[in-house]
Amino acid sequence: MVTIKGPALFIAQFIGDEAPYNNLPSLAAWAASLGFKGLQLPTNDLRFIDLQKAAESKTYAEEIKGMVQEAGLEITELSTHLQGQLVAVHPAYNDLFDAFAPAAYQGNPAARQQWAVEQLRYAAKASQNMGLSASVTFSGALAWPYVYPWPQRPPGLIERAFEELGKRWTPILDYYDECGIDLCYELHAGEDLHDGTSFDMFLNKVHHHPRANLLYDPSHFVLQCLDYLEFIDIYHSRIKMMHVKDAEFNPTGRQGVYGGYQNWIDRAGRFRSLGDGQINFKSVFSKLAQYNFSGWAVLEWECALKHPEDGAREGAAFIQNHIIHVTDRPFDNFAAADIDASLHRKLLGI
């Protein structure tokens, strides 16, 4: 067995315009002061990383690593959530998702998609240059507007959507394989890949590609009323990354999974700071240790109530206290006896 690494922090929700959140060295130093040991980097902010440059220059990639190492931390993975979203966008969301791309590509879905694919390729090469093993992204969505079958969906619509999704992602996955990087999809509402069943459909379309893997985040499963512990039993061989994020689901006589169009604070399902929600993290960490998960436990702070600085400070300690330092010997070794073949035969009566 191996001990999970951490705690680490996904910094996307902390980046801002004021110190220490406006540049990589100062944000890394702040995170280290809270007890974090790693940072997961989003790749859409040039103040923190020039993704193209990190892909084309190993020297620059090493410089980015050095900034984080100066604070005593490691870079855990690179994130392309926003770029991955743009690999597959249903026209209903074109205007909203344009904001995820540079101005030069807005209003041009085909050019925007091409830019996103190029960004994914840069992330693979940059990850290789940094000596990383995995990267996280979103799948994007072509079928999400049809998630609830009313009016009745035309036969074959969902199958056609997943065929197209597989067609778009297969060459990207092939490139990640060339670079030796696992591409981990975060299963998330709003994405075509949002639960185990949709991930299985995708795997079939990409021919069970060895680089098509998962970032495990139980908070999204609580909000779907999905068994987040059994999910680990089923998909542990594909789980290469982890977000540690809490959530709660408190349905009422008025509201359930869909939330009645309410804002986060008024929804039955809400993301919460670690320890404030309903997730059984003792069991989560136990199962991941059981299956030899060797990645990082990365805090993703999202909470409708608590201040992010408090969430980060408390989250670092919470993760540290839940990481299981795995044993190097069976607990009943004290009762072990020297065994040889003759004793085996005697004990079995053979």
Residue of 124, 120, 143 whose CA lies nearest to 132: 124
Residue of 111, 129, 109 whose CA lies nearest to 50: 129
In this prediction the pTM is 0.95
Average pLDDT, the chain: 96
User: Residue 135 in contact with residue 184, Cβ under 8 Å?
Assistant: yes
Q: Is the pLDDT of residue 70 over 70?
A: yes
For 153-189, what is each residue's pLDDT tens digit? 999 999 999 999 999 999 999 999 999 999 999 999 9
Q: Round to whole Å and give the CA distance between 73 and 321.
A: 19
For 12-23, what is each residue's pLDDT tens digit? 999 999 999 999
For 85-126, what is each residue's pLDDT tens digit? 999 999 999 999 999 999 999 999 999 999 999 999 999 999
Q: What is the DSSP letter of 316?
A: H
Alpha helices in the chain (DSSP H): 24-33, 51-56, 58-70, 81-85, 94-97, 109-129, 157-179, 196-205, 218-222, 228-235, 281-290, 308-322, 341-348
Q: Is the pLDDT of residue 301 over 70?
A: yes
Residue with structure tokens 């004793």? Answer: 343
Q: Round to whole Å and give the CA distance between 344 and 312.
A: 55
User: Residue 47 in contact with residue 115, Cβ under 8 Å?
Assistant: no
Q: Is the pLDDT of residue 341 over 90?
A: no
Residue of 249, 268, 123, 247 whose CA lies nearest to 182: 123
CATH number of the domain at 209, please.
Answer: 3.20.20.150
pLDDT of residue 333: 64
Q: Is the pLDDT of residue 332 over 70?
A: no
Instruction: Report, as an integer, the average pLDDT of 261-284.
Output: 98
Split into its structural domains, the chain has a count of 1
Q: Round to whole Å and give the CA distance between 197 and 109.
A: 28
More confident residue, 339 or 178: 178
For 233-242, what is each residue's pLDDT tens digit? 999 999 999 9
Q: How confident is the model at residue 49 (pLDDT cuts 50, 70, 90)?
A: very high
pLDDT of residue 346: 87
**Domain enclosing residue 217, as ranges:** 5-348
pLDDT of residue 183: 99
What is the gyration radius of the CA atoms in the chain, in angstroms? 22
Residue of 196, 202, 136 whose CA lies nearest to 167: 202
Q: Is the pLDDT of residue 337 over 90?
A: no
H or E, element range at 331: none
